[in-house]
């Protein structure tokens, strides 16, 4: 049996991710965004593994492009590291999919926040020309610590919203999210 790509579930999950990505365009606490939640949610709930990467990446790119047009702050020299962290979070989502629970989603959220912190701060250091060697890398991580708390809080908040919405829809309108 061939999987139908445009199913109610596909539309619901895609719409939820696109809506989350649009929230990046509104004023918010720095780093308190749905970035990791979009990737984790897509990894868990898209039936087609390819779409678990394509749709969240497309949503992320579209919101980055809109931010660039609105404020000139959508694209920057460390974007590749942001996108690497984003793709790895989708992979974490594929693992969470095997046993989706509050605990596994929370663990996936925390792990993705830590991974994102490590990768993006490494990117900041690398884009600086590897200034001061290992000491410079250490300094970059220390300087990034104040940004970690809102990142983690945002990831946990948005994962609660996205996964909670899916759960509630699954209870009230099960045909809408049926695979």
Mean per-residue pLDDT, 153-157: 97
Query: What pLDDT, on the 0 to 100 scale, is given for residue 131?
Result: 79
* Whether pLDDT at 1 is above 70: no
C-alpha 97/C-alpha 118 separation (Å) is 24
pLDDT tens digits, one per residue of 61-106: 999 999 999 988 878 889 999 999 999 999 999 999 999 999 999 9
* Whether pLDDT at 14 is above 80: yes
Answer with the residue of higher pLDDT: 1 or 9: 9
Q: Is 17:58 a contact under the CB 8 Å cutoff?
A: no
pLDDT tens digits, one per residue of 105-149: 999 999 999 999 999 999 999 998 877 889 999 999 999 999 999
Query: What pLDDT, on the 0 to 100 scale, is given for residue 6?
Result: 83
* Whether pLDDT at 3 is above 70: no
Query: What pLDDT, on the 0 to 100 scale, is given for residue 151?
Result: 96
Query: What pLDDT, on the 0 to 100 scale, is given for residue 177?
Result: 78
C-alpha 57/C-alpha 17 separation (Å) is 10
pLDDT tens digits, one per residue of 24-75: 999 889 999 999 999 999 999 999 999 999 999 999 999 999 999 998 887 8
Model pTM score: 0.92
CA atoms within 13 A on the CB side of 20: 33
Instruction: Return the SS3 of 40.
Output: helix
C-alpha 60/C-alpha 162 separation (Å) is 15
In 3D space, the residue among 77, 150, 162, 91 whose CA is nearest the CA of residue 117 turns out to be 150
Total H helices, total E strands in the chain: 7, 0
Query: What pLDDT, on the 0 to 100 scale, is given for residue 71?
Result: 87
């Amino acid at each position: 049996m061939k999987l139908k790509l445009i199913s109610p579930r596909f539309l619901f999950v895609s719409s939820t991710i696109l809506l989350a990505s649009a929230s990046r365009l509104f004023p918010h606490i720095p780093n308190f965004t749905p970035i990791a939640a979009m990737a984790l949610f897509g990894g868990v709930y898209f039936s087609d593994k390819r779409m678990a990467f394509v749709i969240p990446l497309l949503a992320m790119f579209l919101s980055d492009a809109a931010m660039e047009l609105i404020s000139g702050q959508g694209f920057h020299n460390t974007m590749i590291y942001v996108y690497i962290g984003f793709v790895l979070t989708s992979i974490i989502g594929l693992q969470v999919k095997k046993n989706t629970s509050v605990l596994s989603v929370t663990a996936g959220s925390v792990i993705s926040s830590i991974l994102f912190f490590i990768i993006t701060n490494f990117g900041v250091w690398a884009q600086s020309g590897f200034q001061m060697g290992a000491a410079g890398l250490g300094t970059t991580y220390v300087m990034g610590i104040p940004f970690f708390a809102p990142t983690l809080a945002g990831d946990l908040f948005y994962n609660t919203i996205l996964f909670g919405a899916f759960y509630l829809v699954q209870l009230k309108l099960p045909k809408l999210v049926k695979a």
